[in-house]
Amino acid sequence: MLKAKTITIANQKGGTGKTTSAYNLAHALSQENKKVLLVDFDPQGNLSLCFGIEQPDQLAISMCNVLDALMSDHPLPAEQEYIHHQDNIDLIPSNIELSVTEINLRDEMGSEKTLATLLEPMKELYDYILIDTNPSLGLLTINALAASDSVLIPVNPQLWSATGLTQLLNIIVKVKKRINPRITIEGILMTMCDPRTNLYKEAYKLVQDYYGEIIRIFSSQIPLSVKVGEANFYSQSLMTYLPKSKVTAAYQNLAKELMQHEYAQASNHS
């Protein structure tokens, strides 16, 4: 069996649609008969909320407990205690305690590989592992990058900033050099797009001019829609909440684009 492809969804800006993209991409991949593990690696726990965990901060066991066990060389909790299931998708949840773990990671030798140590044995159980990160470039994000094969970067045209992306790309280059030589950039995903606005047109042109030559820009773009917030509020994927909407179709197309790219890469290597 092939090992899972691990993709970190990262942008140090908040409000770019990282969590929404992780959750709905997982469901779109699941519709393609892929088994997906979602990793909530953000102390805000928004992905856990989307998944239907109503009070992540009250979980007995979450990501922070698992990482703490790894760092102190204690046995890990049983998987059924921290892996939650929903259809063809599993989740390792997070909560505010993960921010304490991030502080503890600073004192730990080789701490940037802690998440990789956890996920490596799980790769044989899944087709994809998607990691949702917090909006910063701290040790949690570096851990996620160290554990990943690639990075998907959501960009919201309304918050567009060329310099912001440059910092993230610099971090990815450093991680590739020093920690994880296999990491690549999966592509830039334009989110919350309203093609009628000048702002969108300007932002999209900027992204193409700056990065189009060196980074793939997904042809699937996620439209701006109030329905996204509604679906998140009801802890439903867009595929369940609004199966016929444009936003749903965009995530389904993204899943197909991701898979096609992977098949193309695999056939190039064979």
- Can you give the residue ranges of every domain in the chain? 5-269
Query: How does DSSP assign 28-90, residue by residue?
Result: HHHHTT--EEEEEE-TT-HHHHHTT-S-GGG-SS-HHHHHHHHHTTPPPPPHHHH-EEETTEE
Q: What CATH code would you report for 5-269?
A: 3.40.50.300
**Three-state SS at 250:** helix
Q: Which residues contact 60 (CB under 8 A, 6 or more apart)?
A: 81
pLDDT digits (tens, 9 = 90+) for 103-162: 988 888 888 999 999 999 999 999 999 999 999 889 999 999 999 999 999 999 876 665
pTM of the model: 0.95
Angstrom CA distances, 141 to 144, 159, 164, 222, 257, stand at 5, 20, 15, 23, 25
Which H helix or E strand runs over 130? strand 128-133
From first to last of its 270 residues, the chain has per-residue pLDDT tens of 568 999 999 998 888 999 999 999 999 999 999 999 999 999 999 999 999 999 999 999 999 999 999 999 999 999 999 999 988 899 999 999 999 999 988 888 888 999 999 999 999 999 999 999 999 889 999 999 999 999 999 999 876 665 678 889 999 999 999 999 999 999 999 999 999 999 899 889 989 998 999 999 999 999 999 999 999 989 999 999 999 999 999 999 999 999 988 777 767 666
